[in-house]
Chains A and B, each alone.
Chain A
Amino acid sequence: MIEKKPSTTVETIVFIVLIVLTLVTYKVGETDMSGIFVSLGVFAIALFKGALISEHFMQLKYASGIWRWLILIWLILLGIVIYIAFTV
C-alpha cells in the first residue's frame, strides 16, 4: 500500500535554517572580526544547530522524559565548559 506524499515542510525549513546558519558562521570566520564575543556567538549558533538536529532530525521532540533531554543536556554542558574555558 502506497500512502500519499507525507508532509516534510518542517524538516525542509529546519534544513534551510541549518545551511544559512552555517554560512553565517563561515562568513564570520572569513572576516577579520575577532574577539571573545564573536567566538562565543559562533559557538552559540553551533549549539542552536545541535538543538535543531536533536529536536527535528533525531526526532527527540517526540520522546518523553529524560530521553528528550539527552542531547540538549550534552549541548548545555558543553556550552558551559566552552564558555568558562574561553572567558577565564
Chain B
Amino acid sequence: MKYTSQMVAKPYFIAAIGLFVGQILFGIIMGLQYVIGDFLFPEIPFNVARMVHTNLLIVWLLFGFMGASYYLVPEEAETELHSPILAKLMFWIFLIAGAATILGYLLVPYATLAEITMNDLLPTMGREFLEQPTITKIGIVIVALAFLFNIGMTILKGRKTVINLVLLIGLVGLAVFFLFAFYNPDNIVLDKMFWWFVVHLWVEGVWELILGSLLAFVLIKTTGVDREVIEKWLYVIIAMALITGLIGTGHHFFWIGTPGYWQWWGSIFSAMEPIPFFMMTVFAFNMVNKRRREHPNQPAVLWALGTGVMAFLGAGVWGFLHTLSPVNYYTHGTQITAAHGHMAFYGAYVMIVLAIISYAMPMLNGRKAANSAKSQIVEMWSFWLMTISMVFITLFLTGAGILQVYLQRMSDNPLPFMVVQDKIELFYWLREGAGVVFLIGLIVYIASFFIGKDEAEPNEA
C-alpha cells in the first residue's frame, strides 16, 4: 500500500462482506418460503424477505464500489485521498442509514414505514428495488455526492489515468441515473420506463464501466502487463458496453406500453450485450497469459479471471437467452429472469468486488502483497464453492423457468400460476440446497481472513 489514506477502504470492505452475509441469509429464508409458504410468517413475509435480499445486495455492492474507489483512486492518482475524514464520516452515515432502512423493513409494516418517513411529501416508495423510504434515498444522494466530491478532487489533483477516468465516469453515471428514483410520474408507462433508467442503466450501463476499471486495475497490478495495452482494451470494452447497454435498455420496453420500434431496437442492441462481456473474458485471460510476474496473491487473480467468465455466462449468455422480443414474450417475469439475475449479479459485480477485496485486504492488514499460503488455499476453496453452487442455482432456476414457461404460457391447456409453482417445487428444493452450499462457501471465505494470520506470505516466483 502506497498511501495511508487508502486505509479508509477497509471499513467499507468489512461492511460489504457483513451485509453480503445478511443478503445470503435472507436469500436462504426466501428460498425456503418458495417451498414452505408460511415459513417465518408473519414475522418475515416473503415480500419483505425479497426486499431485504435485493436491497442488501445493492447496498453491499455500493459499499464495495466505494471501498474499491477509495483504495484504487489514490494509488492511480499517486496522491493521498482528498479527505479521509469525509470518507470515514460518509461510511458511518451510509451504514447507519442502510441498517435503519433494513430494520424499518423488518420491524414495521411497509405502509407504516411509508407513513413515518413522510413518503406522501415526495412519493418514491413502493417500486421494486427502489423500495427505500424517500429520506433514505436523499441520504444515498448526499453520500454519493460527498463520495464523488472526494474522489473527484483526488483525481483532479493527481495523475490522470484512464482507469481513474473510466471509474469516475461510471460513478458519476451511477449517481445521475439514481436521480430517476425520485421521478415518479402518474402515467404508469412513463413510471416503468424511468424506473428502468435506474435499474437497467445501472447494471447494464454505468456499472459496467466500474467493473471494467476495477478489473483493469487488478490485472495491471497482478500481471505487470503494460498500462497502455490494458487501457486500449478498456476503451473498446467501455465503448461497446455503452453502445449495447444504453440502447439495449429497450429490451425492458417490450411490454410496458412504449412504441413498437422498441421491439427491434431492444432486441438487436441487447442481443449484442454479451460482446463487451466476452471481450472482458478474452481481455482477462490474455493479460494473465502475457503476465510478466507471478503475483503472490493467487486468489485475486482467480477472482479476476472468474469474474470475466461468470459475467459472460450470467450477464451475456443467460441474458441473451431471453432478450429477443419473440422469446421474451413467453419468458418475461419467470424463473428464467431469476436465473439470469442471480448469475449476472454474482459474475459481474459480486466477483469483481471480491476480487478487489482479495487484492487489497492483505495490504490493508499490513502485509506486503498477499496472505499466507494456507489462507489462500482456503480462499480458493471458497471461490469454487460459491461459484459452482451459483452455477447450480442458475441451472435449477433455468429448469424451473423452462417448465414454468411451458406449463403456464405455452401448453395447449395453460395452468394457473400457483398450480405451476407446485409442479416445479422439486427445482426450488434443489435450488435451496445449492443456496446452502453457497452460504457455506461464504463462511469459508470469511474464515480465510482469519486462517494463517501469523504465517509468512508466499514468495513471488
Within the complex, are A and B direct neighbours (CB within 8 Å)? no
Binding site for A on B (CB under 8 A): none
Binding site for B on A (CB under 8 A): none
